[in-house]
């Protein structure tokens, strides 16, 4: 179903595929969509097509594939952007798990209750303190450019909601972004102070802030991932189908 009421210059909406999850309404920074929420008739419609900025957040987040690119001239460019975004999201998920796991092992297994002394001989999952510290630092160094790229890809989203002060329903994402920036900042500052042989008291303060903020970040990250489980599920399903189609059948 592609009537004029379900088109913008950038996207089209197929209401037959819509499962009325309302995720596109939350994902859209420009309030393009609205609900049709009747007992016998439930789906999203495009209410403000002129407000559409072409950020493609709705396409990226729609779990049912009801929203597609409308302008055929932009198909290749948009498909490439969505593929890059999916790669970044998967990579962020993987390295976030690694960063969180190594960080919690370092904090709980080595630092907590040690009164400043670290027993580096203790091993967790067959790895000692130095191995876990190396993994944690490497994962942070890798996750930082991924996060920066993710922010750049969604810059229009951030700019539109801040500029338009449309923060309702977006606070959790903004808090998650702010927490990540503060966790990264305190972590890097502690490294810089250590390398520059600066104040040990300030370095320990940065580490303490880093550890406490990481706990908050982990909580908001779980909430963020939980809200996008269907998106990840559909992404992996589509990737599997694409891989299956590309794999030639073996001769029997």
pLDDT (tens digit, 9 = 90+) per residue, 93-109? 888 889 888 988 888 88
In CATH terms, 4-70 corresponds, of 3.30.70.20, 3.30.70.1380, 1.10.3720.10, 3.40.50.9100, to 3.30.70.20
Closest Cα to residue 64, out of 227, 232, 236, 231? 231
Rounded CA separation 84/250 (Å): 31
Going by pLDDT thresholds of 50, 70 and 90, the confidence category of residue 131 is very high
Where are any strands of DSSP class E within the chain? Answer: 11-13, 33-38, 41-46, 67-69
For the stretch 151-192, pLDDT in tens is 887 776 677 666 655 555 556 777 888 888 898 899 899 989
Sign of the CA dihedral running 86, 87, 91, 92: negative
Sign of the CA dihedral running 106, 206, 222, 141: negative
CATH placement of domain 77-227: 1.20.950
For the stretch 45-75, pLDDT in tens is 998 888 787 777 888 888 888 898 876 545 5
Element (DSSP H or E) covering residue 14: none
CB neighbour list of residue 215: distance below 8 Å, 6 or more residues apart? none
Q: Give the pLDDT mean for 195-210.
A: 90
Going by pLDDT thresholds of 50, 70 and 90, the confidence category of residue 86 is confident
Is the pLDDT assigned to residue 76 strictly greater than 80? no
Going by pLDDT thresholds of 50, 70 and 90, the confidence category of residue 39 is confident
pTM for this model (two decimals): 0.62
How many residues are recorded in the chain? 252
The CATH 1.20.950 domain(s) of the chain lie at: 77-227
The CATH 3.30.70.20 domain(s) of the chain lie at: 4-70
Rounded CA separation 59/157 (Å): 13
């Amino acid at each position: 179903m592609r009537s004029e009421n379900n088109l913008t210059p950038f996207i089209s909406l197929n209401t037959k595929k819509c499962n009325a999850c309302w995720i596109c309404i939350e994902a859209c920074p420009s309030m393009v969509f609205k609900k049709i929420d009747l007992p016998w008739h439930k789906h999203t419609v495009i209410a403000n097509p002129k407000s559409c900025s072409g950020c493609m957040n709705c396409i990226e987040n729609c779990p049912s594939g009801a929203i597609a690119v409308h302008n055929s001239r932009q198909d290749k460019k948009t498909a490439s952007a969505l593929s890059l975004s999916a790669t970044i999201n998967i990579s962020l998920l993987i390295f976030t798990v690694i960063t969180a796991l190594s960080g919690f092992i370092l904090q709980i297994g080595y630092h907590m209750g040690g009164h400043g002394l670290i027993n580096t001989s203790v091993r967790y999952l067959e790895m000692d303190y130095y191995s876990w510290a190396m993994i944690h630092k490497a994962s942070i160094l890798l996750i930082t450019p991924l996060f920066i790229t993710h922010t750049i890809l969604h810059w229009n989203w951030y700019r539109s909601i801040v500029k338009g002060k449309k923060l309702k329903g977006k606070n959790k994402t903004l808090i998650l972004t702010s927490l990540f920036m503060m966790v990264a900042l305190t972590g890097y500052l502690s490294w810089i102070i250590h390398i520059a042989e600066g104040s040990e008291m300030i370095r320990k303060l940065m580490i303490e802030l880093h550890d406490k903020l990481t706990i908050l970040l982990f909580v908001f990250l779980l909430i963020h991932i939980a809200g996008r489980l269907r998106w990840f599920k559909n992404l992996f399903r589509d990737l599997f189908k694409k891989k299956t189609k590309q794999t030639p059948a073996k001769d029997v």
